[in-house]
Amino acid sequence: METQIFQPNQVEAAAALLKAGQLVAFPTETVYGLGADATNETAVKKVYAAKGRPSDNPLIVTVTGQAMVEEYAQPLSATAQKLMQAFWPGSLTLILNLQPGALSKAVTGGLRTAAFRNPKNKTTLNLIQAAGVPIVGPSANTSGKPSPTLAQHVYHDLNGKIAGIVDDGPAAVGVESTILDLTADVPTILRPGAVTEEQLAAVIGTVRSNHHKVGATEVPKAPGMKYKHYAPDAQVYIVDQVADWPAALQWAAQQTTPVGVMAVDSVLADQTLPANAEVFSLGTDIASASHLLFDGLRHFDLESPVKNILTQGFPPVGLGAAYMNRLNKSAGQMHFSK
């Protein structure tokens, strides 16, 4: 299969492929997603095959807004409507109860719920509008690898496996959406993202976070809860404190191969970097670090192969919660120890 590259003004052609049951990657403000007609079970199953994704890992349903959600979900609560008004289009995914038989088990992982997202990207909203159906939207990468923030990342992983990619430049946010479960007794964050717990609580009151580890036989309600995610080929180590960097870089200097170093500019400027350090800047703060995290991990996979990557940690509050969630998964919970 030849994977075509479409520009934003070519969404009609890309939508025609979706309507024909093919897979097309699309841009969002968070990361690139892999689209298929969410109402076409055969097309949805192709997503799992292209990504190498476990079939019990449910897919996010990407929509143009509340009206499209109402075609498939149970009647929306006042809470759901408040959240949609406050954060849609944007980086918030809502898990809702479905109407019976509204979507295939291939979308839901066999659950009676589904996750819905309305992305803040005009090109993709135009694409869904042209297709006339919601589209599933897991990250457009090989399962387990860092999420793609550029069309080139998608092409690297999925060239020849999907029909097309809509290229709308770099993703603005760089980490996936916050997933909020509205089917729980208390609205529960299953995956932190750019919309923070504090922002959600300001709109709907009490919100809790779920750190439950999904068991081997349990079906997760949202992506990222069960399987390995975001991992480059190299082993990632988290450097938790600025004070730990001298020891971490001393360890790096003792390695016989190049070592990746990912940190903000102020940390890099204050350290003595060994000759074998391959540096990738995470910018100036947690916002830029979140935006650049996957790009950096992809950089070391594609352009500067290393066996180990030292990466700066941040306090897990606000946007730092999303950053550390992704970084801990990419590192397999491995932290640098003096």
Give the pLDDT score at 9. Answer: 97
pLDDT at 226: 47
Q: Which residues are annotated as a binding site?
A: 30, 53, 57, 113, 117, 139, 147, 177, 191, 230
Per-residue pLDDT at 28: 97
Q: Report strand pairing: 113-117 vs 24-26.
A: unpaired
Is the model's pLDDT at 54 over the cut of 80?
A: no
pLDDT in tens, 82-133: 999 999 999 999 999 999 999 999 999 889 999 999 999 999 999 999 999 9
Confidence label for 242 from pLDDT (cuts 50, 70 and 90): very high
Percent of the chain having pLDDT more than 90?
Answer: 88
Q: What's the whole-number mean pLDDT along residues 241-261?
A: 97
The pLDDT assigned to 304 comes to 87
Please report the pLDDT score of residue 222 as a whole number.
63
Annotated binding site for L-threonine: 30, 117, 177
What architecture (CATH level 2) is domain 4-209? Alpha-Beta Complex (3.90)
Mean of per-residue pLDDT scores for the chain: 93
Residue numbering of the annotated binding site for ATP: 53, 57, 113, 139, 147, 191, 230
Amino acid at the residue 276: N
Packed helices 122-131 and 11-19: angle between N→C axes, nearest 10 degrees: 40
List where CATH 3.90.870.10 sits in the chain. 4-209
CA dihedral 309, 226, 176, 135 (to 10 degrees): 140
Q: Where in the chain is the domain with CATH 3.40.50.11030?
A: 235-331
> For residue 217, what pLDDT is reported?
55
pLDDT digits (tens, 9 = 90+) for 317-326: 999 999 999 9
Mean pLDDT in residue range 205-225: 67
Tens digit of each residue's pLDDT (9 = 90 or more) over 70-85: 999 999 999 999 999 9
Contact 253, 234 (CB under 8 A): no
73 CB burial (10 A radius; 0-12, 13-18, 19+): buried
Q: What is the mean pLDDT of residues 51-56?
A: 79
CATH fold for domain 235-331:
Rossmann fold (3.40.50)
56 pLDDT more than 90: no
CB-based contacts of 216: which residues, under 8 Å, 6+ apart?
none
Predicted TM-score (pTM) of the model is: 0.91
Q: What percent of the chain has pLDDT over 70?
A: 93
Residue 225: band (very low, low, confident or very high) from pLDDT cuts 50, 70, 90: low
